[in-house]
Amino acid sequence: MGSFYEECLQKLKKTEGDGWRMITIDGVVGVGKTTLMDIMVNELGYTPFEEPVVNNPILDKFYYDRERYSFPLQVFFLNERFKHIKNASELDRAILDRSIYGDVIFAKMLKDNSEMSEEEFHIYLDLFENMIEHCQPPALMIYLEISTEEAIKRINKRGRSYEMDTENAYWERLNKEYRAYFDAYQASPVLKINVDNLDFENNPEDREYVISLIKKELQTLNL
């Protein structure tokens, strides 16, 4: 019996074909996913699909009352990410700021912390599994790895009140779940980049370094 994440990814791993020609950037909150996506759009010509946090009617409420809003928030994200990935699948050079593949990370953490009921979690999993059967792996998964301490610094610098008011233990648990997920993820090639000491938003040398890693991986994959 594999891990929970391995089992969740089985349906994606069994999909026939070479996968969709899209890139997914993933990592914990504050790691720089949107920033890197914007850089790749500008420098490499990809079409962006940004994580649905803007005009999200539930997100800020969730951070102040997770038990009340965990299930509707996860269903909202799952539905929006499924829309994104369907639209991205029709393009040759799409890039997603997080996507449906790792959505289950948040739901599992909420269930484990008793902030989502077992009944809600199983309903969510049914939805996730139904949707993931219609998805193919990305051409490349970019995982931005970061320490919890550095992620919290960046969250505070970003200044979203509902994130800054969230206890550090939540971010610690989230980072732990992300590491476990990517230890199990084998559905597509993964480029892992530790960004603890990188500022690719403001430092041109760091930006060039990260882009060079991505270009090299894309060349290896003939993308």
Q: What is the CATH number of the domain that holds 87?
A: 3.40.50.300
The per-residue pLDDT for 202 is: 92
Give the predicted TM-score (pTM) of the model. 0.90
| Mean pLDDT within 66-88 | 93
Q: Which of 18, 38, 92, 97 is the catalytic position?
A: 97
Write out the residue range of the structural domain in which residue 129 sits: 4-220
112 tagged catalytic:
no
Angle of the 104-112 helix axis to the 118-132 helix axis, nearest 10: 170
The per-residue pLDDT for 8 is: 81
- Confidence band of 15 (pLDDT split at 50, 70, 90): very low
HSE (side-chain half, CA atoms, 13 Å) at 86:
10
Task: Give the number of domains in the chain.
Answer: 1
